[in-house]
């Protein structure tokens, strides 16, 4: 059977974070200020996770396991097979400062790995490729993806971490077979929403409408695709910039609560996600909103009607049920 769906005994709350610093935008200048604030935001998040006993999956760009790197025979990371995108000029790693964490902290994150591993509520470290290659885009061959995954797995092992969960850069899914061959158990699929199949431009408008009208976020069922669990996203906790500048934080909270309630009632998963730097657009307000969501999760958890698992734990549980 190619696709398999499992009925859960109760709802699950999953939180996944795309941890990429400057790699996600290849160092977009206007966001550098947000990346500079990211470590402080991570501290605040970990504080909230301890306070509310929340486990999250941190999907890390593998380069962030490093605190320095330098070219070998003039080439940055020669062990990585380069993607070949139409829009790419020069070498994929031209953006890599090939320096160290003190000089260019936006490109290295070994300290962040330690912070996460030292959280008193056990967190999961997952994978978001080594250098934020867009796996699902034409030009990314399976061997390029495979070489990135292998380097990530080795770097994670050096920290005692076994990678189980994967988040695709830009949520562009591809090469599931390669992911499975590299022993991953699950990935976060594209948010299940009513505008999922709209063209890109309309999707942005629909995304704004969806948020301003507080349509409830969806609860999702895990689906096994090609031997690996798709734990689709339910809701992207929206930043407070651009079109979302005027979107009150209470709307994000209401939307999340409605999705959590659905997960409880339908025994499904509510999968919340964002990038820690998204909170840099208005840290205090957005963190306060998250705190309300976590308190709500706990109110259901105390009643025994909701669990909070990492992506990896969810996949392991599902595998034990087959
Ligand atoms: Zn490097
Ligand atoms: Zn990303």
Ligand nearest to the CA of 77: 1
Ligand nearest to the CA of 18: 2
Ligand nearest to the CA of 134: 2
Percentage above 70 pLDDT, the chain: 98
Instruction: Give the pTM.
Output: 0.94
Provide the pairing of β-strand 223-225 with 228-230.
antiparallel
CA of 122 to the centre of ligand 1 (A): 28
Ligand nearest to the CA of 91: 1
CA of 305 to the centre of ligand 2 (A): 32
User: What are the residue ranges in the chain where pLDDT is below 50?
Assistant: 1
CA of 22 to the centre of ligand 2 (A): 10
CA of 63 to the centre of ligand 2 (A): 13
Ligand nearest to the CA of 188: 2
Ligand nearest to the CA of 169: 2
- The alpha-helical segments, DSSP class H, found in the chain are 32-52, 110-117, 142-158, 176-181, 200-212, 249-266, 283-302, 311-320
Give the tens place of pLDDT for each residue, 44-53: 999 999 999 9
CA of 57 to the centre of ligand 2 (A): 14
d(CA 290, CA 297): 10
Give the tens place of pLDDT for each residue, 204-261: 787 777 777 777 788 999 999 989 999 999 999 999 888 888 888 999 999 999 999 9
Burial (0-12, 13-18, 19+ Cβ within 10 Å), 291 = middle
Q: How close are the terminal C-alpha atoms of the chain, in Å? A: 13
The CATH number for 3-320, chosen from 3.20.20.370, 2.40.160.20, 3.20.190.10, 3.40.640.10, is 3.20.20.370
Residue ranges near ligand 2 (ion) with Cβ within 5 Å: 18, 20, 24, 169
* pLDDT at 3 (0 to 100): 67
d(CA 275, CA 59): 10
Ligand nearest to the CA of 171: 2
CA of 23 to the centre of ligand 2 (A): 8
Domain boundaries, the chain: 3-320
């Amino acid at each position: 059977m190619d696709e398999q769906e499992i009925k859960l005994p109760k709802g699950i709350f999953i939180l996944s974070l795309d941890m990429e610093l400057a790699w996600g935008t290849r160092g977009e200048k206007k966001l550098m200020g947000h990346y500079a604030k990211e470590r402080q935001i991570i501290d605040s998040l970990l504080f909230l996770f301890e306070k509310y006993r929340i486990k999250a999956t941190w999907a890390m760009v593998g380069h962030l396991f490093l605190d320095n790197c330098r070219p070998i025979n003039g080439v940055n990371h020669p062990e990585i097979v380069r993607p070949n995108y139409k829009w790419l000029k020069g070498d994929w790693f031209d953006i890599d400062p090939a320096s160290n964490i003190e000089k260019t902290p936006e490109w290295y994150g070994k300290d962040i790995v330690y912070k996460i591993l030292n959280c008193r509520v056990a967190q999961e470290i997952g994978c978001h490729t080594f250098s934020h290659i867009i796996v699902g885009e034409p030009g990314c061959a399976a061997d390029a993806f495979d070489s990135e995954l292998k380097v990530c797995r080795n770097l994670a092992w050096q920290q005692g971490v076994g990678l189980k969960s994967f988040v695709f850069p830009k949520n562009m899914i591809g090469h599931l077979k390669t992911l499975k061959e590299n022993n991953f158990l699950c990935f976060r699929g594209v948010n299940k929403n009513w505008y999922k199949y709209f063209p890109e431009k309309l999707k942005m408008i629909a995304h704004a409408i969806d948020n301003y009208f507080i349509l409830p976020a969806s609860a999702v069922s895990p689906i096994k695709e090609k031997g690996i669990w798709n734990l689709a996203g339910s809701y992207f906790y929206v930043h407070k910039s651009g079109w979302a500048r005027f979107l009150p934080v209470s709307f994000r909270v209401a939307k999340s609560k409605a999705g959590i309630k659905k997960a409880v009632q339908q025994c499904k998963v509510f999968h919340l996600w964002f990038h820690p730097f998204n909170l840099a657009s208005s840290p205090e307000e957005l963190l306060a909103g998250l705190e309300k969501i976590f308190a709500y999760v706990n109110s259901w958890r105390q009643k025994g009607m909701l669990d909070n698992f990492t992506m990896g734990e969810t996949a392991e549980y599902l595998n034990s049920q087959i």
